[in-house]
Structure 1
Amino acid sequence: MSDEENGVAAESVVDQLRDRIASGALAPGAPLRDVALAEEFGVSRNTLREAVRLLVHEGLAVHQLYKGATVKRLSVADVHDIYAARRALELRAVEHSFSASQEALDALDIPVSAAERSAAADQWDAAGTHSLDFHRAIVRLLGSERLDSFFRTAVAQLRLAFAEAPHEPEFQSHWVERDRELCDLLRTGRRTQAAAALTHYLDDSERMIVDLVRAAQQHHV
């Protein structure tokens, strides 16, 4: 396999592992064993190691002495950094949502409705995934593939913090109704109200996740 082909294969593996992290299928501390994963994805161990190196670069994995690579556990500083990015991108997207097509605005309803159905079925892990999909859809209103790619990684990092919640329904139930409110405000052009709602949403979410991460750090000491 050429270097170019190896790079393409590694990117494909990274995409799949990132999606698993973003969906909650790979939790913080989960081992990334190169032999098993290389066999699963049908790639060489060198390709798999390159994929893991890229995950480390994205802040989704870490190398630990004598343990190999594992999915990262976020620090409080990581959480603050993620939320700085969320405010910059999501609030900007709300401000500029007037330039989005009605089709793009209506598409916001798809993940929100999916989250509501998941919550009604007590499928809270799925509800969390759909909520993150909704916020990715907000950022897509900016119409930038580069920002979409950046935010996809930020969302996967954020999911690592969600995984620290000791009781998933209690944590996720806070956001389904608020996502619906925000979605409806955006779809009907009430940008000022949407910006205010999103600001409160992000403030409350950051405080809650910081508390989760701090509690998890004490538990893992």
Structure 2
Amino acid sequence: MADETNGMGAAPPHLAAEAVADRLRDRITTGVLTPGHPLRDAALAEECGVSRNTLREAVRLLVYEGLAVHQLYKGAAVKSLDVEDVHDIYATRRALELRAVEQSFTAPQASLDGLDRYVSAAEEAAAAGRWERTATHSLDFHRDVVHLLGSARLNRFFRTTVAQLRLAFAEVPHEPGFQRQWVPRDRELCDLLRAGRRTEAAAALARYLDDSECQIVDIVRAARCT
């Protein structure tokens, strides 16, 4: 097992745990870890090259963020979201993404133009039928929209929201049909933002979030009833 060093001796335990939590959060965001996936101490600690205590602290951070849960007699696992979680996620998205659109006039043009990279990547992934990657690129695009606010604190906060949203996506029974619809809508939003058409972009995003929340709520509700 690695000795959890940072090149200058042993890394502080809380920094090592945060690094592992970042790694696990990224796996959730990219769809590698899905709801119910066990987060077993021994296996993950060995894979990440850290002690079991560090791994447990990382999992505690994910529990605090609403990305994992402790199960009686089973240990920790990636969280399965409920309808209330979905509503909370979309309340956050409206507060941050709509604000970012409204304030996008303060963003450098390079940041606005940079939005295209994720939309183009999503279009390419969709054309190739790679729907998990399509979803990841779409999430990256919306995370980049929030980055237009220029706040490192909000960026870190929204990173967790994006991971939670990916857990909601995991409940979708037919991913191609669900993900396909958002690709042209991401393109529309991207092009409006790049052109400085903020009022139209805000209206398009509001419709987008309403439609997405409605569909995800119905999907999660149906999944809990089966």
**Partner of residue 87, structure 2:** 80
- Percent sequence identity is 72
TM-score, length basis structure 2: 0.95
TM-score normalised by length of structure 1? 0.97
More off after superposition, 56-65 vs 3-12: 3-12
Distance 2:27 2:51 in 1: 20
Partner of 1:125: 132
User: What is residue 194 of structure 1 aligned with on the other side?
Assistant: 201
**Corresponding residue for residue 14 of structure 2:** 7
Tell me, what secondary structure is at the counterpart of 1:69? strand
Residue matched to 1:67: 74
Residue-by-residue CA offset, 1:37-87 (whole Å, 9 max, x unaligned): 000001000000000000000000000111110000001000000100100
What is the match of residue 148 of structure 1? 155
Matched residue SS, 2:181: helix
> Aligned residue for 2:146?
139
Give the alignment of 1:1-221 within 5 angstroms: 5-219=12-226
Any idea what the Cα deviations from partners look like across 1:128-150, whole Å, max 9, x if unmatched? Answer: 00000000000000000000000
SS, match of residue 129 in structure 2: coil
Q: Distance in 2 between matches of 1:35 and 1:15?
A: 18
- CA RMSD, 1 decimal: 1.2
Structure 1: runs of 5+ lacking an equivalent? none
Higher helix share goes to which structure? Answer: 1
Once superposed, which parts of structure 1, at least 4 consecutive aligned residues long, lie more than 2 Å away? Answer: 1-4
Following superposition, the deviation at residue 35 of structure 1 comes to 0.4
Q: CA deviation at 1:94?
A: 0.4
